[in-house]
Structure 1
Amino acid sequence: MKLAVVGGGSTYTPELVDGIARLRAELPVTELVLIDTDEHRLGLVAGVSARILNRAGHPARLSTATELEKGVAGADAVLIQLRVGGQAMRHQDETVPLECGCVGQETVGAGGLAMAMRTVRVVLDVAERVAAVAPKAWIVDFTNPVGIVTKALLDAGHRAIGLCNVAIGFQRRFAALLDVEPSRIALDHVGLNHLTWIRAVYLRGEDVLPRLIDQHGEAIAKQIGLPEPVLHRLGVVPSYYLRYYYEHDAVVAEQKVGTSRASAVKEVEDKLLELYADPSVDTKPDLLTSRGGAFYSEAAVALLASLFGEGGDVHVVNVRNNGTLPFLPDNAVVEVPATVTSAGAQTWPVAPVSPLLAGLIGHVSAYESLAVRAAITGGEDLVTEALLAHPLVGQISVAERLAGRLIEVNRDFLPWASVR
Structure 2
Amino acid sequence: MKKFNITIAGGGSTFTPGIILMLLDHLEDFPIGTIKLYDNDKERQQTIADACEILLNERAPGVKLQASTDPKTAFENVDFVMAHIRVGKYAMREQDEKIPLKHGVVGQETCGPGGLSYGMRSITGVLEIVDYMEKYSPQAWMLNYSNPAAIVAEATRKLRPNSRILNICDMPIGIEELMATNIGLKSRKEMVVKYYGLNHFGWWTDIRDKSGKDLMPSIIQHVEKFGYSTDTGSDMEQEASWNDTFKKARDVQALDKHTLPNTYLKYYFFPDYVVEHSNKDYTRANEVMAGREKFVFGECQNIIDKGTAEGTELTIDEHASYIVDLARAIAFNTKERMLMIVENKGAISNFEPTAMVEIPCLVGSEGQEPLSVGEIPRFQKSLMEQQVGVEKLTVEAYEEQSYQKLWQALTLSRTVPSASVAKNILDDLIEANKDYWPELK
Q: What TM-score, normalized by structure 2, do the two folds share?
A: 0.88
Residue in 2 that maps onto 1:275: 299
Aligned Cα root-mean-square deviation (Å): 2.2
Residues in 1 aligned to 2:283 and 2:311: alpha-carbon distance in whole angstroms: 26
Whole-angstrom distance in 2 between the partners of 1:189 and 1:53:
38
Q: After TM superposition, list the pairs within 5 Å mapping 1:8-407 onto structure 2.
A: 8-57=11-60, 59-155=62-158, 156-157=160-161, 158-182=163-187, 183-203=189-209, 204-215=211-222, 217-222=224-229, 224-226=246-248, 228=250, 230-231=252-253, 234-256=257-279, 259-268=282-291, 269-279=293-303, 280=306, 282=309, 295-393=318-416, 395-407=418-430
Report the Cα offset of residue 247 of structure 1: 1.3
How far apart are the structure 2 equivalents of 1:340 and 1:305?
Answer: 9
In structure 2, runs of 5+ residues without a counterpart are: 230-242
Q: CA deviation at 1:213?
A: 2.1
* d(CA) in 2 for partners of 1:257, 1:162: 32
Offset, 1:215 = 4.4
Distance 1:329 1:285, change over 3 A: farther
Provide TM-score, normalisation by structure 1: 0.92
Moved more, 61-70 or 44-53: 44-53
Decide which moves more: 9-18 or 124-133.
124-133
- 1:396–1:230: structure 2 CA closer, same or farther, 3 Å change rule? closer
Distance 1:196 1:318 in 2: 11
**Residues 169 and 16 of structure 1: CA distance in aligned 2, closer, same or farther (over 3 Å):** same
Distance 1:313 1:220 in 2: 29
Q: Distance in 1 between matches of 2:148 and 2:216?
A: 28
Instruction: Describe the superposition over 1:117-145 as per-residue Cα deviations: whole angstroms up to 9, x where unpaired.
Output: 11112221221222111111111111111
**Residue 66 and residue 283 in structure 1: after superposition, are their counterparts in 2 closer, same or farther (change >3 A)?**
farther
Between the aligned partners of 1:65 and 1:348, the Cα distance in structure 2 is 39
How far apart are the structure 2 equivalents of 1:196 and 1:287?
32
SS in structure 2 opposite 1:26? coil
Give aligned pairs, total: 414
89 and 230 in structure 1: CA distance in 2 versus 1, 3 angstrom threshold: closer
Does structure 2 conserve the Cα–Cα contact (< 8 Å) formed by 1:9 and 1:38? yes
Q: Does the CA-based 8 Å contact 1:90-1:262 persist in structure 2?
A: yes
CA distance in 1, matches of 2:290, 2:386: 36
1:402–1:359: structure 2 CA closer, same or farther, 3 Å change rule? same
Counterpart-to-counterpart distance in 2, 1:282 and 1:197: 41
Which sits farther off after the overlay, 87-96 or 197-206?
A: 197-206
Asked whether the equivalents of residues 249 and 266 of structure 2 are also in contact (C-alpha less than 8 Å), the reply is no
- Is the deviation greater in 349-358 or in 185-194? 349-358
- Distance apart, 1:312 and its partner CA: 0.6
**1:234 Cα deviation (Å)?**
2.1
Deviation of 1:200 after TM superposition, in Å, equals 2.0
Task: Note closer, same or farther for the CA distance 1:327–1:352 as it changes in structure 2 (3 Å cut).
Answer: closer
Contact 2:222–2:228 (8 Å) recurs in 1: no
SS at match of 2:207: strand
8 A contact 2:175–2:228 mirrored in 1: no
Deviations 1:166-219 (A, max 9, x none): 121122222222333422112222111111222222112222111122246434
Looking at structure 2, the residues matched to 366 and 284 of structure 1 have their Cα atoms a distance apart, in angstroms, of 50
